[in-house]
Chain A
Amino acid sequence: MRILFIIFFLLVTSLNLQASSEHAEEEGAVDAFGLIMGHISDSHQWHVIDYTNRHGHPVHISMPLPVILWHDNQLWFYSSDSFFHAEHPVKIGNDHLVLEDGHFYLTDHEGTIIRDGQGSITNPSPLDFSITKNVASMILSMLLLLLIFLSAAKAYARYGMPPPKGFRAILEPLILFVRDDIARSQIDEDKADKFVPFLLTLFFFIWINNLIGIVPFFPGGSNLSGNISFTATLAVFAFLAINIFASKDYWKHIFIAPGMPFPIKILLVPLEFVGIFIKPFALMIRLFANITAGHIIILSLISIIFILKSIYIAPVSVLLSLVMFMLELLVAVLQAYIFTLLTALFIGMSTSKTEH
């Protein structure tokens, strides 16, 4: 049944891609790079489906998203609809606004975009706090998590004693896994339970966003957990959790390196100090790279069909992407696990009193 679903997902994705490729064919060649980058980067609208109607007109269905900008010490609200296919730049105070390559730029009243030698746009940008596709899917994930766990909590408060049924039967092993095999196995016994809520939230937040990212059509398909801003923010939270509750011994170990001869101390202390930042940095890069790479591989496999312009390669591509989807499902939970486990490990190292 699940395989049928995945095949269905694949068909839908390939339909979308076909629509894009038709568009590309008018230009001559398939722009696989642009297509993939478009799929894995953030966007100001949530693309639903493109098709050509019976009159031969292309139809683009997408969900407009709110645009929130900070300019001239003031917040500005728009609908992203007013920027797509707009003939005139939109007024923002005394300036004008144009959406180009997924970013907002301030322009003159004609909407002139100034590019430098490398083709980068040199116009100034307002601060962008828009609800983009990624933010929208994150809010969706938040609502899902709240729905799941608040109802689970209610159910637990009422029927906590008998063995879990239905949805809780799936959640419970995961919750117990995070509590016992991540928190309690890495962090000192007396401190572990304090970090369990944080680790549980982290684990489920990353996992559900990974899963939403795998779903290839609306309301999935955002590459949130493969976005560096997202992973960086979570890494910052991990950094705070590691260092705020750190024990005295941890800091002593980093800045004094007890028991080492002086010349080694000179080498070791800067290394340890940099290590404080490298640990969350590695967390950030690992999650970002794994999720993005998975998306790129699946999109590339599908793009092969349109690059080679052959229907005969399609079964191979579909089969390979099927395998990749399976792998992605594994990676989704695995990366959430690794992120949480390493955070717990670092917390355990920083809060423990005996090890250093």
Chain B
Amino acid sequence: MELLTPSPGLIFWTSLTFIILLLVLRKFAWPSILRALKVREETISFALEDAQRAKEEVEMMEQKRRKIIGEARKEKDAILKEARQLKSEILEEAKEAAGKESQRLLEKANQQIEKQKHDALAEMRETIGRLSLEIAEKILKEELSQDDKHKKVINTYLREMNLN
């Protein structure tokens, strides 16, 4: 068959053409094309990686921010709580101090009253004794002779009375 018979001329020219194409394209075309494609692919993948990393970083910062805000809020709460406690403590203390002071003043006043009362009683007793003596002296001067014995009796009675 004519169709299936290879012709040496065409084989020769095909080989020559293919070899020329292969050599020329391999030297001048494919390397720069393939390199450009590779460089672009790598750039894209690097860029994607960078974007991913940046996204992660942003997320991390967001988390950090949230954490800091949370901590600050907690701290604020703690400070407020402490302040409230301090306030109530101060109030309590002040109240206590005031109570004590008033107690002290009251006691002092009581003591003074007691002392004055005591002094007044002693003075009264002395005055009453003196007055009684004077009265008795006057009575006895008139009625009795032995005033020593009567004075003694009156004093005994007065002590027994003790004017409480």
A197 to B31, CA, bound (A): 8
Q: Find B26's partner among A130, A134, A179, A201 (CB 8 Å cutoff).
A: A201
Instruction: Check A131–B14 contact: CB distance below 8 A.
Output: no
27 A-B contact pairs sorted by A residue (CB < 8 Å): A128-B7, A128-B8, A129-B9, A131-B13, A135-B10, A135-B13, A146-B21, A150-B28, A150-B29, A153-B29, A160-B32, A179-B34, A193-B34, A198-B26, A200-B25, A200-B30, A201-B21, A201-B22, A201-B25, A201-B30, A228-B3, A230-B10, A230-B14, A233-B10, A233-B11, A237-B15, A292-B3
Instruction: Check A172–B10 contact: CB distance below 8 A.
Output: no
- Chain B residues within an 8 Å CB radius of A292: 3
A108 at the interface (CB under 8 A from B): no
- Chain B residues within an 8 Å CB radius of A128: 7-9
Taking chain B's interface residues, is the majority helix, strand, or loop, or is none over half, making it mixed? helix
| Among listed B36-44, B53-61, B131-139, interface-contacting one | B36-44
A152 to B43, CA, bound (A): 20
Q: Given A41-B2, A150-B29, A172-B37, is A232 in contact with B11 using a C-beta cutoff of 8 Å?
A: yes
Chain B residue nearest to A40 (CB atoms) is: B3
Chain B interface extent, by class: 35 or more
Binding site for B on A (CB under 8 A): 37, 40-42, 68, 127-132, 134-135, 138-139, 142, 145-146, 149-150, 152-154, 156-157, 160-161, 172, 175-176, 179, 193, 196-198, 200-201, 205, 227-230, 232-234, 236-237, 292
- Chain B residues within an 8 Å CB radius of A129: 8-9, 12-13
- Chain B residues within an 8 Å CB radius of A176: 37
B122 at the interface (CB under 8 A from A): no
- Chain A residues within an 8 Å CB radius of B6: 228-229, 232
Q: Given A42-B10, A197-B26, A228-B4, is A156 in contact with B17 using a C-beta cutoff of 8 Å?
A: no
**Lowest 8 CB-CB distances: which A-B pairs, in order?**
A160-B36, A156-B36, A229-B10, A149-B29, A233-B14, A153-B29, A197-B30, A229-B6
